[in-house]
Structure 1
Amino acid sequence: MTTVTGPNTPADAAGTGGAELDARTTELDREHVFHSWSAQGGLSLLPIAGGHGTTVWDHAGRRYLDFSSQLVNVNIGHQHPAVVAAIHEQAATLTTIGPATANLTRGLAAQRIASRAPEGFNKVFFTNGGADAIENAIRMARLHTGRDKVVSTYRSYHGNTGGAVVATGDWRRIPNEYARGHVHVFGPYLYRSEFWATTPEEECERALRHLRRVVECEGPGSVAAILLETIPGTAGVLVPPPGYLQGVRAIADEFGIMLILDEVMAGFGRAGEWFALDAHDVVPDLIAFAKGVNSGYVPVGGVVISDAVARTFDDRVFPGGLTYSGHPLAAASIVAALDAMESEGIVAHAKQIGADVIGPGLAELADRHPVVGEVRGTGVFWAIELVADRATREPLSAALIGRAKGELVSRGLLPFIADNRIHVVPPCVVTSDEVAQALATYDEVLSLLDKEL
């Protein structure tokens, strides 16, 4: 890995001063920062000083190609000048104002978001991130229906607040189960089917049958909402089979249940669409968003509310709110990010590069490397599922996954690793040359893993 400098790199980046700053950054982190989802004692984290586009670097000038988009949120890339300028301009005008006011920038942000939603969505409730977007979507569904239960999938992640983490299906739910009224089902995942399915059609039909039976057994009149990630992300980039989301919509309609689609990770270009739901011909009742709406430049999330649900609160107080709901710095970053994504064709680019470059490149790796069980995805939202045995589909061990992560980082690529998978999730602005560089790096590391089988 070469040592070079780039935009926003500290002046002393390439010299001893840069190395000292990296050491100081690491020291302060270990002494004073408590990190999420981690045992604190063994942490050794990369110091990151700056970034631009798809690349980040430390104080000493070591550069890394960011194929994690951090937490799959930096869709527009690091330090997009239009978004940075908008934040500066808003800070010079009005840094903060309470939510019990009308603010032009906030209104423009809500307008931009609603214009990308299906017809019949005109209101946006702003939150501080994705988890509290899910919390408030659940609250709206419960108040609108007068019911309590929320059905979500085992293979899911919805956030780390009280209700969102219990709606989550993965291991993080289990030590945090304090919220009431949550029920889980299996969603479609043909590679590891829970339904003995052998085709996408069978997987879709049987997953829908399973969902229906759970709703019936729970009592349809007690179910407020079905909550799904449009494309489950951390759970494995599980693109639903054709007809599945439409089938869920039909079950929800039959029983008077709200459909909440979690677009926190999948939305705003990640799946090659403004909303991932656009590719599935489905209209939910509530849409949760965050991450890519402004690429995380300022913390923000929210709920796009269908007109029918919004009308529930025309003459009834909505019992929820946040001090920073619709914060003007966040709102300014949303307006600038969405305008730049439109004017620069970033969403269309994400769709094209996924179909023409990333997808074929990953398929070629899968053909050559026995350690790859399956690749799947769309847009700039892909997963490489790694196995110890293709015949049995036994997941690759945690030790070898850890080695893969270390080898990728040592070669200058920041990966997103989840369970036995490498998620290929670069910013939407990634170039063909950068994809080629990443594919070559994956190729090297997969070859090392092949030798361990």
Structure 2
Amino acid sequence: MTATHTPEQIASIVDRTKEFTLFEWGHQNITPLVVDHAKGVHVYAADGTRYIDFNSVAVSVNIGHGDTRVADAVAAQLAKIEFASPFWTTEVRAEVGEKVAQITPPGLKKSFFTLAGADANEAAIRTARLVTGRRKILVRRRGYHGATQGVLPMGGDPRRWAVEPGVGDIVRIPDPYHYRALGTATEEEFCRSVLADTEEIIRLEGPHTIAAVFVEPVTGSNGVIVPPQGWLRGLRALCDRYGILLICDEVMSGVGRTGRWFASDHEGVSPDIMTMAKGLTSSYVPLGAAVFSEAIGDALQDIEINAGLTYQSHPVGLAAARATLAIYESDGLIENSEKMGHYLRQGLHELAERHPSIGDVRGVGLFNTLELVHDRDTKVELFTLTGPNSAGQGELGAALKANGLLAGLRGPWLMACPPLCITTTEIDAAIEGLDAALEVADRYTSAAGAPPPPHATHTFPPALEALR
């Protein structure tokens, strides 16, 4: 592919971007990739380089890039009516609301359409507290639910530090993270143990104080933690036993990503509230949704809902969703996610046989990760979430890019979450690129004689140094 911009033009774009805009999650001393266009699973940089989008950008471009059916639907809606008051309605609002009720688990019915996953999660929390009259929210220790002030403190990683304690009344429950469990328990034994610990937390916190248990059925950006079979069903049973709402955050795991419409479907679980975004429009335009059970919808008939947005139920976002949801079905993308997921994991397991840096391969559908370790026996992480990026992390990122992959590398987790339209040929090309790039990671393992990575340290405030 030939370049669409000269080196001087590319440099100008980078310079002006850095002068007038800010990047998220970190310092501003970066050199961003300048992209020009994308099609299918490929992204084309302004210098003409073609990459496989191995992370669906943000695990969100589920149908693939450049689908004109969505672009045409958005253009048609803009020509018809570009914006409507949240207190009005449109044909597209009725149609997408009805469609979401059809594809979500039984019992879910009423959608509150937002702009993203974070505000959908905020709407879910506020509504759960409103209808129960309780405050506490139980969350997974390594979960993540968005970046706004209301939901960032619920996350289980260092991104929450700057905003703690946030809205408060957050209680953490154990993760069903079998790879990092102590001992040699089977998955079934481990699942029972996690559920028992969770029940003890519920009893000690007081069920009468708990509004909801709020979980990602498969944790996303914090490691694609796929729970043992039975965990989500067990959590549903605990919520029923103690009169607590179950909220499933399917912002990343939902809308075909796991080879089902939603990750909850793998265990036949119906939550009381489900949230989604990302794949709802394949990120072509912003849209999220909090979907409530019919019982909660009935309760809200006589209670003023405690959520509102200028762009709630935006008709352009809904038009994109209507077109996108139709494409999942017409193109068989959910079935392809399941089939290609098996094929991809087979390739990832073969890589694990050759690369000592791969400690674990896990996933479901096209929602997968490689957990990179310094030592397979101790499971010491190769890269950490805290502190500055190590030299090895930067080298691996550069190697992935040099081998034609735009991949998500976050701490020890190398994500493998391509668009659902990917083919075996494209997966083979991605595996080849990973194979070459992982040689960099291998050099930082104990097998290569490298020392273990240092952990981040924190000093005492100066006023407390004398007390040490």
TM-score range, shorter chain: over 0.9
Aligned residue runs from structure 1 range 2-17, under 5 A: 4-5=1-2, 13-14=3-4, 17=5
Residue 282 of structure 1 aligns to a residue in which SS? Answer: coil
Which runs of structure 2 are paired with 1:55-134 in the superposition (5 Å)?
A: 55-134=42-121
Deviation by residue 1:290-323 (Cα, 9 ceiling, x = unmatched): 0001111111101111101111111221121101
| Aligned partner (choices 424, 428, 441) of residue 436 of structure 1 | 428
383, 391, 403: which one pairs with 1:399? Answer: 391
Q: How many residues align?
A: 438
Q: Which moved more, 1:123-132 or 1:315-324?
A: 315-324
- The match for 1:27 is 15
Deviations 1:102-128 (A, max 9, x none): 111111111121110122222110011
Please give the residue correspondences for 1:349-428 in structure 2 after superposition, counting only pairs within 5 Å. 349-355=336-342, 357-397=343-383, 398-428=390-420
| Residue-by-residue CA offset, 1:236-273 (whole Å, 9 max, x unaligned) | 11111011001111111111100000000000111111
2:50 touches 2:404 (CA, 8 Å); kept in 1?
yes
Give the structure 1 partner of residue 238 of structure 2. 251
Matching residue within 147, 156, 173 for 2:134: 147
Does structure 2 conserve the Cα–Cα contact (< 8 Å) formed by 1:271 and 1:378?
A: yes
Rounded Cα–Cα distance in structure 2 between residues aligned with 1:245 and 1:221: 22
Alignment partner, residue 207 of structure 2: 220
User: Structure 1 length as normaliser, TM-score?
Assistant: 0.94
Gaps of at least 5 residues in structure 1 are 6-12
Aligned counterparts of 1:395 and 1:187: Cα–Cα separation in 2: 17
Query: What is the rounded CA distance, in whole Å, between the counterparts of 1:375 and 1:188 in structure 2?
Result: 16
The whole-number CA distance in structure 1 between the counterparts of 2:9 and 2:371 is 37
Percent of aligned pairs sharing the same letter: 38
Aligned to 1:450: 442
CA contact (8 A) 2:63 2:419 kept: yes
Give the root-mean-square deviation of aligned CA atoms.
1.2
Provide the residue aligned with 1:180 in structure 2. Answer: 168
| Residues 272, 348 of structure 1: 8 Å contact kept | yes
Deviations 1:336-384 (A, max 9, x none): 00001101101111111111x1011111111121111010001111000
CA distance in 2, matches of 1:104, 1:93: 11
Task: Report what 1:9 is aligned to.
Answer: none
Question: 1:197 Cα shift?
Answer: 5.0
1:270-349 matched pairs, under 5 angstroms: 270-349=257-336
> 1: distance between equivalents of 2:24 and 2:315?
27
Task: Tell me the distance in 2 between the aligned counterparts of 1:167 and 1:206.
Answer: 23
Moved more, 253-262 or 178-187: 178-187
The equivalent residue for 1:46 is 33
Gaps of 5+ in 2: 384-389, 449-468
**Aligned-pair distance for 1:196?**
3.7
Q: State which of 162, 171, 174 in structure 1 corresponds to 2:149.
A: 162
After TM superposition, list the pairs within 5 Å mapping 1:227-242 onto structure 2. 227-242=214-229
**1:88 positional shift:** 1.0
> After TM superposition, where is structure 1 displaced by more than 6 Å over at least 4 residues in a row?
none
